[in-house]
């Protein structure tokens, strides 16, 4: 299939037009080469691009692409090198940000819940990004241990010293949703990152806060989307992990 046909198929599933995003969703770089081999990864950094070239990719599918609001619009320096590498290799780039967070089957939040065994029963916010739900009653220490086991790194945990049954979660940099989760009665909130004010909010609200890693919580949606494309479009698919501690 062509890169444009691949974009059309993904758009039919993820409906990016529904979101007011910080970045363009869809094709960010196209090529004349038909897509037979697809590589997926979290962020379109140079290491992932080089690995995609070595893997013989025709297209690279990521959650974090190249173009973000507030950044320079010039293709120079590191960004210019990334673009040149992909142009020379004839690889297309597709990136999906909020649409891939929100999808109820393929999204990062849905996949995190599946991985952790959490039950989702409502969206965390009106745009459908993040979830409210429940888990079997568990202590904060056991939740921290479960996250470390499943995600491969220990979360930063603010302990509320209460059992956890009701929880909210939103992958990546979603600490701005913490107050909404508190207002909706959670015992714990799981996201990727934490800032200094959130520590005090968690302590004073008596709600557990788990900063489990931006990268670590957002590995899974792009893999699910890649598998779906492989199954339904007859593509070869490979997820390539470029580790990040954040």
Q: What are phi and psi of 22, to 5 degrees?
A: -90, 0
Q: Judge whether 63 is annotated as a binding position.
A: yes
Q: In what order do the strands lie in the sheet with 59-64?
A: 26-29, 92-95, 59-64, 37-43, 236-239
Q: Which residues pair with 168 in a beta bridge?
A: 132, 189
Mean pLDDT of 26-32: 97
pLDDT at 55: 98
Question: What span, in angstroms and rounded, lies between the C-alpha atoms of 47 and 136?
Answer: 39
Question: What span, in angstroms and rounded, lies between the C-alpha atoms of 141 and 188?
Answer: 12
153 burial type by CB count under 10 A (0-12 exposed, 13-18 middle, 19+ buried): middle
Q: Which two tokens stand for residue 140?
A: 């904060």
List the one residue out of 182, 158, 156 whose CA is nearest residue 168: 182
Percentage of the chain modeled with pLDDT above 70 = 100
List pLDDT tens digits, range 107-157. Answer: 999 999 999 999 999 999 988 999 999 999 999 999 999 999 999 999 999
pLDDT at 17: 97
Mean pLDDT of 34-41: 98
pLDDT at 183: 98
Q: Judge whether 64 is annotated as a binding position.
A: yes
Query: In the chain, which residues fall in CATH 3.40.1390.30?
Result: 3-97+219-239, 102-217
Predicted structure pTM score: 0.97
Q: Which CATH number is correct for 102-217, 3.40.1580.10, 3.30.70.580, 3.40.50.720, 3.40.1390.30?
A: 3.40.1390.30
Burial 190-200 (b: 16+ CB within 10 A, else e): bbbbbeeebee
147 burial type by CB count under 10 A (0-12 exposed, 13-18 middle, 19+ buried): buried
List the one residue out of 168, 171, 201 whose CA is nearest residue 187: 168
pLDDT at 133: 98
Distances (CA, A) of 77 to 7, 23, 84, 102: 28, 20, 11, 32
pLDDT at 175: 96
List pLDDT tens digits, range 69-115. Answer: 999 999 999 999 999 999 999 999 999 999 999 999 999 999 999 99
Q: Which CATH number is correct for 3-97+219-239, 3.40.50.1950, 3.40.1390.30, 3.40.50.2000, 3.90.550.10?
A: 3.40.1390.30
Q: Judge whether 97 is annotated as a binding position.
A: no
């Amino acid at each position: 299939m062509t890169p444009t046909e691949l974009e059309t198929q993904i758009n039919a599933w993820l409906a990016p037009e529904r979101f007011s995003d910080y970045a363009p969703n869809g094709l960010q770089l196209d090529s004349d080469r038909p897509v037979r081999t697809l590589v997926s990864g979290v962020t379109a950094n140079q290491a992932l691009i080089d690995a995609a070239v070595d893997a013989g990719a025709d297209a690279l599918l990521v959650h974090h692409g190249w173009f973000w609001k507030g950044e320079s619009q010039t293709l120079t320096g590191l960004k210019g090198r990334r673009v040149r590498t992909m142009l020379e290799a004839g690889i297309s780039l597709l990136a999906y940000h909020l649409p891939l967070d929100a999808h109820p089957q393929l999204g990062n939040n849905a996949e995190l819940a599946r991985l952790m065994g959490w039950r989702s029963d409502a969206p965390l916010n009106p745009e459908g990004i993040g979830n409210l739900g429940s888990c079997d009653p568990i202590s904060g220490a056991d939740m921290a241990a479960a996250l470390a086991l499943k995600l491969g790194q220990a979360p930063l945990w603010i302990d509320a010293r209460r059992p956890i049954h009701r929880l909210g979660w939103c992958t990546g940099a979603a600490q701005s949703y913490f107050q909404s989760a508190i207002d909706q009665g959670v015992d714990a909130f799981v996201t990727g990152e934490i800032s200094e004010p959130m520590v005090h909010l968690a302590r004073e609200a008596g709600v557990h806060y788990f900063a489990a890693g931006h990268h670590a919580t957002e590995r899974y949606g792009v893999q699910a989307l890649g598998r779906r494309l492989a199954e339904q479009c007859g593509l070869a698919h490979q997820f390539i992990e470029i580790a990040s501690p954040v």
